[in-house]
Amino acid sequence: MLEPTATLSDADVEPEFLAAWRLAQMGSSRRDLERDTAWTNTVRELHPGVFALRVLRREACARLLRQIDSARDRELERGGRLASPNSMHRHGVLLSVLGLDALLADMTTRWVRPIAAHVLPQFNGATLSAHHGYLVEYARDKDERLAFHVDDSDVTFNLCLSDSAEGAELTMLGLRCDQHRDTELLPGECYEYRHEPGVAVLHAGRHRHRVEGLRSGVRRNLILWCRAAAPRGFSTTALGCQPWCAWGSRNAPST
């Protein structure tokens, strides 16, 4: 298990993130936030519904990875089995079995929720309380790509901890409701993102995405699927599944 030090203190996060996070908690309107340089330097909408958050200092990223690695080594030494986070990652590591639950809960409710409340309110951003967290590693002998999918989350917080990779970019492929998940791409929907340590991507779980093939190097990310405790139901308007839902299934192009 990890020592109690495996939490993130105010000193671990970027000073501007801390300032933006404080503003977000003060009941500021989105318009007021967007007039503040700490907010605009910290929270950037890269593409509709896809946000980059400059969160962690580089040294905090490195320390967190060292803590995860030593917890994993200890777990393996004592004969423990590391659970896979889901069916798509052969080499991912579920962090709850490494004693990181307190950290993940803290990340979800203290750090992610106040920001998500402003940028993704239609996806339960303000009421996120549950989490499922894991580490993914893109490397030659680990996972090398990830196929088209959606996440089982209301909001996904995907934080890069280290990156020496060529390739393994994250490609976002448009937001859909459950019914229209496999519909074709619309012009302009595809957005490719190059990860950067300390920066997290925040998006709705229903926002389709994939990871491109790795060419060399290693990328390690902490993924947090955040969910509201209440049952998840979103109006099709909130989902932004356009024009599919607006047209209705009878008129939607066949795929």
- Cα–Cα dist 169/187, whole Å: 20
Can you tell me which residue has the tokens 């993940």? 104
- Cα–Cα dist 93/96, whole Å: 9
What is the smallest separation between the CB atom of 176 and Zn ion, expressed in angstroms? 6
- Cα–Cα dist 204/51, whole Å: 10
Q: From 107, 101, 96, select the one nearest 8 (Cα to Cα).
A: 107
Q: Pairing mode, if any, of strands 166-167 and 214-216? A: antiparallel
Nearer to Zn ion, 19 or 150 (CB): 150
Nearer to Zn ion, 10 or 178 (CB): 178
What is the smallest separation between the CB atom of 157 and Zn ion, expressed in angstroms? 24
CB 151 within 8 A of CB 136: no
What is the smallest separation between the CB atom of 242 and Zn ion, expressed in angstroms? 8
What is the smallest separation between the CB atom of 244 and Zn ion, expressed in angstroms? 4
- Cα–Cα dist 68/47, whole Å: 31
Nearer to Zn ion, 111 or 244 (CB): 244
Nearer to Zn ion, 207 or 219 (CB): 207
What is the smallest separation between the CB atom of 179 and Zn ion, expressed in angstroms? 5
Residues in contact with Zn ion by CB under 5 A are 177, 180, 241, 244-245
**Closest residue to Zn ion in the complex (CB):** 241
Nearer to Zn ion, 68 or 239 (CB): 239
Name the DSSP class of 204.
E
φ, ψ (nearest 5 deg) of residue 111: -100, -45
